[in-house]
Amino acid sequence: MKPLDVLQQSLHKRVLVEMKGGRSYRGVLDAYDQHLNLVLSAAEEVVGGEVTPRTGLTLVRGDSIVYISP
Amino acid sequence: MKPLDVLQQSLHKRVLVEMKGGRSYRGVLDAYDQHLNLVLSAAEEVVGGEVTPRTGLTLVRGDSIVYISP
Amino acid sequence: MKPLDVLQQSLHKRVLVEMKGGRSYRGVLDAYDQHLNLVLSAAEEVVGGEVTPRTGLTLVRGDSIVYISP
Amino acid sequence: MKPLDVLQQSLHKRVLVEMKGGRSYRGVLDAYDQHLNLVLSAAEEVVGGEVTPRTGLTLVRGDSIVYISP
Amino acid sequence: MKPLDVLQQSLHKRVLVEMKGGRSYRGVLDAYDQHLNLVLSAAEEVVGGEVTPRTGLTLVRGDSIVYISP
Amino acid sequence: MKPLDVLQQSLHKRVLVEMKGGRSYRGVLDAYDQHLNLVLSAAEEVVGGEVTPRTGLTLVRGDSIVYISP
Amino acid sequence: MKPLDVLQQSLHKRVLVEMKGGRSYRGVLDAYDQHLNLVLSAAEEVVGGEVTPRTGLTLVRGDSIVYISP
């Protein structure tokens, strides 16, 4: 198994994405690429405990990501 | 679907671009490339709640971008 | 021996992963690649002494890693 | 249209260049390359509201740029 | 002589590894690669004067390293 | 004209080199390469208004440079 | 002349190496490579005015270097 296989298994499932700088996102993983760029639907942004819903598809840039978990 | 397909679908639509360092932009997505460099028209810059309109086409450098959403 | 051989030897064993910015993870190493992207199962996140368990497989991005030890 | 086409259209026109770290430049865009390295003539540097004129051609390194607009 | 030759000469000897952010490691150098990724055995981590021993082999990521000395 | 042509024109002339982190150098540009690594002779370093002369040839690493101007 | 030629001329001579983050080294330049990784002998580390001698050969990682001068 390679690390990106975990993203393949998480497709169309809800994930938590922790970013550099203390921001995080929760949403359904709709797409990814080898740079760990992600597309989330039904996403929520969490900054300092405050939750902001995001409508539509959100593209998260891979190089700001620290980890991705279910 | 790949992450950049989301940008293709967002062409000529209004997007929110969140940057590293707490800055964000709203504008119509007129162009993009594989580095996530973006061109926005009718753009507004938001820093600490203060909104500054930008006339003409704004080129936003991809490596400062955290996420892009509608 | 090359550095990545240590990861090969640590497969399916518990590791400590120290991240830039003071965060760390403990978990079972299930996969890795040449960028040091890791997959941990049964992972715990430790930030400032506070431990948060993570269910399922966690993908940790290699470029935020400082060191990996048993 | 690709993002660098905007720079082509801005050649020999006045642009605003916002840098990482709060610095910005205004000047006439005389040259650019694919790394977004720029050459500005008749440039002014703005740091914290203070404006410093720069005589001659200024080479601005692309990887410190956040955005470029007219 | 090339810089990596110094690592070849330090193999199986005790080294001090100073990291970005004020952390350092002491340990026996068991392996390295061209990215300066290192494997240390019998390692100790030093942060702010506090020493923490690490059992087993520690993989230190090269891009966080400032210098390596005997 | 390409951005590096400006460096070609500045060879053997006095330049100001502004660095990330608030440091700057003044000196005669004796050499450059495509990474914007520079060699300055008769250089002065300026940090927080304090000027330190540097004898001999100073090699300035390109990736710390913000801009170069006459 | 190219910037790395300056390092060739400085081989076996004493150099000052200024690092990102306010640290600096003085030592005899024994080796370098195209990434500006350096080997210093008889090196001293200077942090905040405090000088620490380093015995043996010190390998300094190029990407933390700001400038090198005699």
Q: Say yes or no: C65 contacts chain A, CB-CB below 8 A.
A: no
Place of tokens 């079972």: C28
Model pLDDT for residues A6-54, shown as the tens digit of each residue: 999 999 999 999 998 888 999 999 999 999 999 999 999 988 889 988 8
Which one of 3.40.630.30, 3.30.200.20, 1.10.10.10, 2.30.30.100 gives the CATH number of domain B3-63?
Answer: 2.30.30.100
Kindly give the residue spans of alpha helices, DSSP state H, lying in chain E.
3-10
User: Is F26:F43 a contact under the CB 8 Å cutoff?
Assistant: yes
* pLDDT, position A68: 94
Tokens found for residue A7: 């993203």
Nearest CA in chain B to D14: B56
Nearest chain A Cα distance for residue C11, angstroms: 11
* pLDDT, position F22: 80
* pLDDT exceeds 90 at position G47: no
Model pLDDT for residues D14-41, shown as the tens digit of each residue: 999 999 888 899 999 999 999 999 999 9
Model pLDDT for residues E10-37, shown as the tens digit of each residue: 999 999 999 988 889 999 999 999 999 9
Q: Say yes or no: C38 contacts chain A, CB-CB below 8 A.
A: yes
Name the CATH topology of D3-62: SH3 type barrels. (2.30.30)
Model pLDDT for residues B24-63, shown as the tens digit of each residue: 999 999 999 999 999 999 999 988 889 988 888 899 999 9
Q: Say yes or no: B63 contacts chain A, CB-CB below 8 A.
A: yes
Chain E: list its partners (3+ Cβ pairs within 8 Å).
Answer: C, G
Ramachandran region of residue A62, left (φ > 0), alpha (ψ -120 to 50) or beta? alpha
Ramachandran region of residue B30, left (φ > 0), alpha (ψ -120 to 50) or beta? alpha
Nearest CA in chain A to B22: A21
* pLDDT, position B47: 85
- The mean pLDDT value for F46-66 works out to 89
Reported confidence tier of residue D55, pLDDT bands at 50, 70, 90: confident
Chain A: list its partners (3+ Cβ pairs within 8 Å).
Answer: B, C
Q: What ranges make up the beta strands (E) of chain E? A: 14-19, 23-32, 38-47, 50-54, 58-60, 65-69
Q: Say yes or no: A8 contacts chain C, CB-CB below 8 A.
A: no
User: Is A69:C56 a contact under the CB 8 Å cutoff?
Assistant: yes
Domain E3-69 in this protein, CATH class:
mainly beta
- The mean pLDDT value for G26-37 works out to 94
Domain regions of chain A by residue span: 3-62
Q: Say yes or no: G23 contacts chain E, CB-CB below 8 A.
A: yes
Model pLDDT for residues C2-56, shown as the tens digit of each residue: 999 999 999 999 999 999 888 899 999 999 999 999 999 999 998 888 998 887 8
ipTM field: 0.84
Residue from E59, E63, E64 to probe the interface with C (highest C Cβ count within 10 Å):
E59
Kindly give the residue spans of alpha helices, DSSP state H, lying in B1-70.
3-10
How many Cβ atoms are within 10 Å of E47's Cβ, its own excluded?
14
Q: F-chain residues within 8 Å CB-CB of G65?
A: 61
More confident residue, D48 or E6: E6
- The mean pLDDT value for G20-40 works out to 92
User: Is B24:B17 a contact under the CB 8 Å cutoff?
Assistant: yes
Nearest to F20 among D57, D60, D64 (CB): D64
Percent of chain E scoring above 90 in pLDDT: 71
